[in-house]
Amino acid sequence: MEVNNMKVDNGVNVDALLGAREALTQAPEGARFNWRATCNWVGGTHSNSQVRGFYGLGGEQSHRTEFSFDSDHPEIFASEDHGATPVEYVLVGLAGCLTAGVAAVAQNREIQLRSVKATLEGSMDIQGILGIDSDVRNGFDDVKVVFEIDADATKEEIEGLVAQSQKRSAVYDIITNPTNVHVAVK
């Protein structure tokens, strides 16, 4: 088993993650994180958000570089399409979360991945955001994610990876369950 374990390399440092779990079990206050973004309006429906600093493990942390994201509406909404729509960013977050989870779980289960592709679709009736019908919600009415995974594993084992990734996914939880959002004006 140890030989097999050494051969499997999905690029995820599972030992470090298990070490972090052990350390945070002893010192759970380190597990309090704050993730941040700042957003500046550019014009029209176009805005630019920056992501860099966050809080965790008891102190201020930082990404290696600042990440910058343009968000806009498409031309069919009479906008200039300078970036992905806000709801597409949510799909990107879900895709990244579930895919990272698949890789981490595969490493832990000693399954070598060769490729992982996820296709996401969020359906929405825009009668909600346009205020045409107050019975229609603003957000997605349904999200579908389809994984195509090539790995040294049976179909059942691959389905097990995806199921475990879902179970521990932050963004899956954020979309499927309600979260308080407080909006204030300074």
Residues within window 12-31 making contact with a second copy, judged by CB under 8 A: 12-13, 16-17, 20-21, 24-25, 28, 31
Residue closer to a second copy (CB basis): 7 or 130: 130
Q: Does 105 help bind a second copy (rule: CB under 8 A)?
A: no
Site for a second copy in 117-176 (CB under 8 A): 117-133, 137-149, 155, 158-159, 162, 166, 168-176
Least spacing, CB of residue 115 vs a second copy, in Å? 7
CA distance 21 to 18: 5
- What's CA 93's distance to the chain center, in Å? 3
Look up tokens 């102190």; give the residue: 59
Q: Does 58 help bind a second copy (rule: CB under 8 A)?
A: no
33, 58, 60, 154: which one contacts a second copy (CB under 8 A)? 33
CA distance 94 to 90: 6
CA distance 55 to 28: 14
Query: Which helix (H) or strand (E) covers residue 87, if one does?
Result: helix 86-108
Least spacing, CB of residue 27 vs a second copy, in Å? 11
Least spacing, CB of residue 117 vs a second copy, in Å? 5
CA distance 38 to 1: 47
